[in-house]
Amino acid sequence: MKFLKFMIAVMLTAATGLLQAQSKDDKNYRKESEEIRQQVWAWEKPQFKLRTVPTEYANSSKVVIAHHTELTADSKSKFHLLITAGPKKEQTLTEVVREMVKLNDKKAVDDYSDLSFTRFKKRSGIFNDSKTTIYIGVRILKPNGIVKEIDGDDIVLTKDETKEKKAKLAIPDLQPGDIIDYFIATVKFLTNDFSSKPYNLILFDDSPVLNLSFHGQLGKKFALEYRSYNGAPDLKVSKNNDEDIIVDVEKANIPPYETSFWIAPGLQLPFIRMNISLGYRGMGAKFMGASKPGEIAKNRSTDEVIDEKAGNLSTDYYNGYWMRGTKTKYETIESATKKKLKQLNIVFKDLSNEDKALQLYYTLRFTELLEFEIYKMSEMINIGNTSYNGLAFPLFCTMKAAQLQKPALLVGIQRGTYRLAEIMESEDLTTVAYLPDINKFFSLQTVYDLPFVAPAEMEGITDTKIFTFDHPAVVMSVNKMKGLSQIEDGVNVPVSSSDKNAHIENLKIDLNAEKTNLLVNRSTTMKGYYKADVQRQLILYEDFYESERKAFNDEKSLLDDMRGDKQQKKYVDEVVNAFAEARKKQKAAFISEAKDWFEQDITELTNYKTDTLGVRHTAPNFVYSSSFTLGGLVKKAGNNIIVDIGKVQGTPLTVMPEQRKRTLDVYMPFARSIEFNIELSIPEGYSAEGIAALNKLVRNETGYFTAEATIAGNKVLIKVKKHYLHNVEIAASWDKMLEFLDAANDWTNAKILFKKK
């Protein structure tokens, strides 16, 4: 099941390992493999004895008959002499995931016909030595009752290094009708590792699951935190006589989950989260936020998590701003801001809080993210490929260093992840720089982002908190550290309307001379959250830099600056060449973007340019234009011409028949709109017909699709609009959404007839 592949993926990224001699390694490995196989096949679990599946699933590609996980964790302490002598704690985490699957078709057989895994992987640092070893066992249960076990020698190594061995196993004699019974056992040795290990149980799959179960036994030094989501069953947690933590959960008859779109798994699908860690009471335990040995925390309170977040942010503040010397970089940004404003004859201190924040934002973006260095030229030219995490903390510190009025961090959950009442750890919360007195947000996820705009994933969230920070005289303890932060109730993050996140096409269209294709003069306006993807594709770093440089009234262009510098001038040629090459590629980027959007043949592209970059709040829209020949939309009908004007939309979202019934609420990235303003010239000697039939209006509280067409002189004017009014709709509104979605789809058949006079 997908879960298993997920687990394999987890294992493949786990960091572990110790050096061993290869041949001894192999012998030991095979011996250990055999031992584990014998143990697992001997499990007395009734669910693994089942051989038949309910008739309702006879047509399923595969049926998971049983899926069971055994997780054991124990620890022992070893004292190691190191540079800084300290006790090392070794943990052994052993996880066995066994699954039995009935394969009903060739596709399922293909999916299970080979297994890839990392046999072992090593990571070693001064304090953390780790090694993970993986073992597998596979059996085939034939319809006639014969059980065939796969020979471990059939494993082949595909990577054979001392630090990592990857292996593959082709499963022999697997056919539709068979049951594959296999397990993957992971033994992980972790030393000096008190970090929390997340462990998730996913209780949905696109195949039916007859039985899913989990059993964990954690040694008394371990700690457990857990929560069930969206109707997932509760874990049964207890302690045995040895004070080990025993965890069990079982769910039977999980029907197949039909994957759909616009869903929020964290809010809608059943799963269980656990955090397992080695408890620690020693020095700095509180500071580390370590759990106590044997501690069990079910449904940790939100306040506790927010408290933890406060601690983390306070530590960041302490180490990243309050400590001597750490503030300097933010003060440098402030100085740079003042200098740039001077070039514009503006005095920083005379500005309002809001304007100060704006200028600091733009300066930080320009000096920190866009700054050109010859040694990272390739990275700068491809800056569109870089994403940032919002840079909440640096933005906050910059505003604080510049002594703006009460800069803060706004903390909340990301929309569509977890409910605030169901968070488990501080990483579940997201942060954005914020100025409470003007209720404005500051975030940088791409270099093209604008100030005042909250990230799309925070729109509409309520129950936020505002964190501000004070300077204490001295910090002596963890509690004092926490006291650096003050927490107040936050605000509801506003939600943008559909017209604010828009893709607007302005198209002036003529027929070509042969009347076989359309000649298009295109101007596209992208607004709001719709911009970034296309900005990445089309904006040249050189143009962006120049635009910003001019906005700051910097005297010299980048190249002139370099020419005037003794060290830098020898690089000018290279930079000129690299920029020229990037500019050459821009045409291909424009063609590719147009092809993707219109889904038709695009030829003879000319006059392509980015008119407004959309990187300043004073000109927030990204506008670009080009001219080209658009194929695929013109048909001949005797002496007349038909233009498939509806196809100018490309292929609007099509909802499949099996997706038309919906029980889950609809989570979309943001409210948005797509509009077309078309001016289609009527060729000389022709009249336009079918205009009235183009008109369409479907509107309801979830959104609308409208088309209005008129004739003005020798032009057909068409305005098409499709608006998704909200970023969330309840399931009951799905039918209403379908109304305007279907209308948009139907409109792809819209045609105009040019009739020869």
**Residues near another protein (CB under 8 A):** 59-62, 104-110, 113-114, 154, 156-160, 168, 170, 172-175, 374, 377-378, 516, 571, 573-575, 577-578, 581, 585, 601, 631-632, 634-638, 640, 642, 651, 654, 656-658, 689-690, 745, 749, 751, 753, 755
The 3-state secondary structure of 310-344 reads: HHHHHHHHHHHHHCCCCCHHHHHHHHHHHHHHHHC
Tell me the closest approach of the beta carbon of residue 581 to another protein, in angstroms: 5
Q: Closest CB to another protein among 658 and 684?
A: 658
Tell me the closest approach of the beta carbon of residue 690 to another protein, in angstroms: 5
Tell me the closest approach of the beta carbon of residue 562 to another protein, in angstroms: 13
Give the separation between CA 126 and CA 40, rounded to whole angstroms: 36
Q: Closest CB to another protein among 239 and 569?
A: 569
CA distances from 264 to 70, 228, 261, 457 (A): 29, 16, 9, 12
How much of the chain is helix, strand and coil, in % rounded to 5?
30, 35, 35
Tell me the closest approach of the beta carbon of residue 231 to another protein, in angstroms: 25
Q: Is 656 helix (H, G, I), strand (E, B) or coil?
A: coil
Sign of CA dihedral 682, 685, 691, 693: negative
Tell me the closest approach of the beta carbon of residue 555 to another protein, in angstroms: 25
Which residue spans within 19-163 are E strands per DSSP?
62-80, 86-103, 114-124, 129-141, 147-149, 156-160
Give the separation between CA 590 and CA 383, rounded to whole angstroms: 17
Round to the nearest angstrom and report the end-to-end CA distance of the chain: 65
Q: Closest CB to another protein among 173 and 555?
A: 173
207 alpha-carbon distance from chain centroid: 25
Q: Closest CB to another protein among 458 and 633?
A: 633
Tell me the closest approach of the beta carbon of residue 637 to another protein, in angstroms: 4
Q: Closest CB to another protein among 310 and 707?
A: 707
Q: Closest CB to another protein among 104 and 417?
A: 104
Tokens in use for 138? 């596979």
Tell me the closest approach of the beta carbon of residue 583 to another protein, in angstroms: 12
Q: Closest CB to another protein among 21 and 157?
A: 157
Query: Which residues are CB-neighbours of 738 under 8 A, at least 6 positions away?
Result: 655, 660
Q: Closest CB to another protein among 62 and 672?
A: 62
Tell me the closest approach of the beta carbon of residue 53 to another protein, in angstroms: 13
Give the separation between CA 411 and CA 405, rounded to whole angstroms: 19
Nearest alpha-carbon partner for 432 in 476, 494, 484, 478: 494
Sign of CA dihedral 578, 581, 582, 583: positive
Sign of CA dihedral 44, 46, 47, 48: positive
Q: Closest CB to another protein among 378 and 618?
A: 378
Q: Count CB atoms within 10 A of the CB of residue 216.
A: 24
Q: Closest CB to another protein among 236 and 635?
A: 635
Tell me the closest approach of the beta carbon of residue 588 to another protein, in angstroms: 8
The amino acid sitting at 529 is Y
Tell me the closest approach of the beta carbon of residue 658 to another protein, in angstroms: 7
Give the separation between CA 742 and CA 745, rounded to whole angstroms: 5
Q: Which residues pair with 626 in a beta bridge?
A: 522
Q: Is 175 helix (H, G, I), strand (E, B) or coil?
A: coil
What secondary structure letter does DSSP report for 94? E
Tell me the closest approach of the beta carbon of residue 724 to another protein, in angstroms: 20
Tell me the closest approach of the beta carbon of residue 128 to another protein, in angstroms: 23
Q: Closest CB to another protein among 445 and 586?
A: 586
Q: Closest CB to another protein among 350 and 373?
A: 373
Q: Is 422 helix (H, G, I), strand (E, B) or coil?
A: helix
CB 633 within 8 A of CB 381: no
CB 545 within 8 A of CB 615: no
